[in-house]
Amino acid sequence: MKIGVPKEIKDDEYRVAATPAGVREMVERGHEVLIEATAGEGSAISDADFESQGARVVPSAADVFGEAEMIVKVKEPQAPEIEMLGPQHLLFAYLHLAPDPEQAQGLCASGATCIAYETVEDSRGRLPLLAPMSEIAGKIATQAGAFMLEKPFGGRGILLGGVPGVAAANVMVIGGGAVGTNAAFVAIGMGADVFVYDRSIDRLRELDTAFSGGCSTVYSTTLAIEEMLPRADLVIGAVLVHGARAPFVVSREQLALMRPGAVLVDVSIDQGGCFETSHPTTHRDPTFEVDGVTHYCVANMPGAVPITSTYALTNATLPYVIALADHGVREAIRRDPGLRPGVNVAGGEVTHPAVAEGVSVNCIPVEEAMGMSAERVSEIAEARNIRSIEKSAKRR
């Protein structure tokens, strides 16, 4: 199979979807790997590094999409990339479609089969391709929050760990999954007073054991959150519902309970955000203020540490990339049923229930969508061409 890796074009995104080691593994299994020129520069990987392991470096994204059968990316395709997708493509990337109906519509119109890293499951129902970026995002969340608490950046002017004779900051982590666990780990290490909220008693027990009682664990209810907000200096939102839009755990009204200069870090922003007042920001302009509370809502936090993130991501995704390339989507799903929930779009239809609910469309079973006839594929391609012609005419 021809596997294509384009350069990421999302704002402030420096990761790349493959490493030279990953290329070597793919090539040794008989696959051809196309890498867009300079795709790895942000992660300190040169074109020569890729070429030395058997990749073919091509000048542009158009060359990658034009030749490759499988497109492997990090972040969701941007509008110019969606325009280059067609029914012949298998797209493998983070998609986060539930809060993004426009992207979902574009991917459906392309006719491509689209597998989202964030909804692939392992045999225990965990999310193996989301986990490494969640770990990194959780650690960044605490680092960023500590920085934004400094007075010159609009914060309260409190040191996370305090000093002898002066109390440490209170850090509230809502969600005890991979993000929350790593956020709490760093906050505890910095000497903060940490409170982790979750709705699973079993998970709270696990965290209490893992941290040897180094943080307080709290069963998450609306009242419990409200009671903590007036005391919190830093609140980290780490809420996840597989594939779905994140629920709001802090409302606009509840911001009035917080102290001026407190900081909210919304790691759930890729799934729409778990604070009602959140909206996506970038690394270059990471914060905004609402009612005196600083919001940090960068939608690609791991992109700030691309060397760490790129290698961690490839370690996780490579076995799946190889399985899909070796066997194709249908056989790969048969061999590993955890890939089935990863299929978010196929045959012009949304195939994941939570995504379908998020974008307000009907969910079509994966098998039915992938059994689409050749005529249907041709219809999608023809409709796509008509839309492209219409857009070109309007621009002229």
Check 100, 233, 266, 270 and give the catalytic one: 270
Reading the block at residue 337, the tokens are: 């049923």
Mean pLDDT of 195-215: 97
Reading the block at residue 116, the tokens are: 């989202």
Exposed/middle/buried for 234, CB within 10 Å: 0-12, 13-18, 19+? Answer: buried
- Locate all alpha helices (DSSP H) within the chain, ordered by sequence: 20-28, 47-52, 61-67, 79-82, 101-110, 131-148, 178-189, 201-210, 222-228, 306-335, 353-359, 366-370, 374-395
- At residue 301, the 3 state secondary structure works out as helix
pLDDT tens digits for range 272-306: 999 999 999 999 999 999 999 999 999 999 999 99
Concerning whether 96 is annotated as a catalytic residue, the answer is yes
d(CA 356, CA 337): 20
pLDDT tens digits for range 87-128: 999 999 999 999 999 999 999 999 999 999 999 999 999 999
Q: How many CB atoms lie within 10 A of CB 260?
A: 12
d(CA 318, CA 22): 6
Mean pLDDT of 342-359: 96
| Residue 86: closest CA among 105, 65, 102 | 65
Q: Which domains does the chain have, with CATH numbers?
A: 2-127+306-395 (3.40.50.720), 132-304 (3.40.50.720)
Concerning whether 233 is annotated as a catalytic residue, the answer is no
Torsion of CA 134, 178, 115, 388, to 10 degrees: -40
Look up the pTM and report it: 0.89
The amino acid occupying position 102 is E
Check 96, 193, 295, 352 and give the catalytic one: 96
pLDDT band for position 373 (cuts 50, 70, 90): very low
The region of weakest confidence among 82-86, 334-338, 368-372 is 368-372
Q: What angle, 0 to 180 degrees and rounded to 10, lies between the N-to-C axes of helices 131-148 and 306-335?
A: 150
The region of weakest confidence among 61-75, 110-124, 331-345, 382-396 is 382-396
